[in-house]
Homo-oligomer: A and B are copies of this chain.
Amino acid sequence: MYKDLNTSVRTLMTPGPVEAEPRVLRAMGTPVLGQFDPEFTEIMNETMAMLRAVFQTENQWAFPVDGTSRAGIEAVLGSIIEPGDRVLVPIYGRFGQLLTEIAERYGAEVVNIETGWGQVFDPQVVIQAMQQVKPKIVAMVHGETSTGCMQPLQAIGEACRALDILFVVDAVATLGGTAVKVDEWKIDAAIGGTQKCLSVPAGMAPLTFNSRIEAVLLARKKIERGLVEPDKYKLNQNRMIRSNYFDLSQLMDYWSPARLNHHTEATTMLYALREGLRIILEEGLEPRFARHAWHEKALIQGIQAMGLTLYGDPACKLPVVTAVSIPAGVDGEAVRRMLLEEFHIEIASSFGPLKGKIWRIGTMGYSCRQKNILHVLGALEAVLLWHGAAIPAGRAVQAALAVYRPQQSAL
């Protein structure tokens, strides 16, 4: 009735999901273990240790939530926001709006400041807003895939620490592709994504948080258990962490040696995450970030050699996503369709105010390799010429090759 799964092999050059590492897919074929099997809990511990390394943190708590990236964001915000808490969310793209929505649903009074899409914030602007708003939490996106911009975080993190504000960072797009220095930047909680620079299929949200977050969680748990104000049940119900699934205090008990039963850990996804992290640590963080930057450079050279222009302020470009303005007179969706149908390449469209105005090309994880960069440039040139765009022929791939083979190009 239903056929064997027999899909096309795509070249995925979007901001996620990207191509999974072949070693990751192989690791997923490993037989299932019980969740309390000593061999499995060892895998849990190894994964925590590797996550600490990738998040560049000494935090005790670093584990995945079993859900896609926004599940991790919701686990952090939902576990620390109590109704009425003030949360400052500076918005510079689509995913700042998501942080706002999640915080509001958990009862927060959210204060937004906004900057134009294609820009990021001067940290001083955020710090001034913090001083005025006096929030309990500042929540920000590190890499905005919607605009291809990346927000510098360190000055904001230091100001949060000085003002005793919790600093929550959505590092979904950046973790594993460019530096996310949790401790150095004074980030209290950060959330990554698997289907982006980790090159693991979607379905897990790795996160980390420090003792400042843990203190909030433990205080709420005390209230829930009636250890304080036991006569005020209604109040306590209102202050409970609203989600069971996303309750980080229960997840701490599950990921600690206590191993208190919560959900059944997603065995095969954890095998995948472990293998993806292992590949990253084998490559080394700095070499990996340099590799991403190198391929990004080749892509940019190729794009510009076609006479196309990049969208957004170059000073804050997100290294793993390149936003390209769709040339006047070109139907961006027709180009994307032809890329998919004839070249099996997927690049991304965009959201909201940028819909129809830019393409977004991801260079993340295993998708970020020379073969893919050259393929996408050659294909994009061919499709644009096919559609009658007035671009120079034969330059895009040459320009990228000049990045990859500098000696030859000098001849």
Contacts and interface: CB of A to CB of B under 8 A. Distances in A.
B29 A10 contact: no
A112 interface: no
Contacts of A261: 351
Interface in A272-290: 272, 274-275, 278, 281-282
A19 interface: yes
Chain A, interface size: which category? 35 or more
A172 to B, nearest CB: 10
A287 to B, nearest CB: 15
Nearest to A25: B29
A231 interface: no
Contact of A203 (B30, B70, B203): B203
A9 interface: yes
A157 interface: no
B71 A7 contact: no
B68 A244 contact: no
Contacts of A101: 244
Contact of A237 (B30, B40, B104): B104
A74 B65 CA distance: 15
Contact of A5 (B34, B243, B274): B274
A192 to B, nearest CB: 13
Interface stretch (A174-182, A263-271, A295-303, A308-316): A263-271
Contact of A201 (B19, B32, B104): B32
Contacts of A245: 67-68, 70-71, 74, 246
Contacts of A267: 17, 195, 201-203
Contact of A31 (B10, B243, B246): B10
B105 A37 contact: no
B50 A33 contact: no
A12 interface: yes
Contact of A106 (B5, B29, B242, B351): B242
Interface string A23-49: 001111111111101011001001000
Given A2-B281, A34-B346, A105 B10 contact: no
Complex copy number for this chain: 2
Nearest to A2: B278
- Interface SS of A by simple majority: loop
A340 B243 contact: no
Contact of A34 (B14, B66, B265): B14
Contacts of A243: 74, 78, 105, 242-243, 246
Contact of A268 (B69, B78, B201): B201
A382 interface: no
Contacts of A17: 32-35, 264, 267
Contact of A32 (B12, B40, B98, B102): B12
Contacts of A281: 1-2
A327 interface: no
A105 B240 contact: yes
B37 A203 contact: no
Contact of A39 (B7, B33, B50, B246): B7
A28 B31 contact: no
Interface in A74-125: 74, 78, 98, 101-102, 104-107
20 contacts: A1-B278, A2-B278, A5-B27, A5-B271, A7-B33, A8-B39, A10-B32, A20-B32, A68-B245, A69-B263, A78-B243, A105-B240, A105-B244, A107-B242, A201-B266, A202-B263, A203-B203, A203-B267, A203-B269, A245-B246
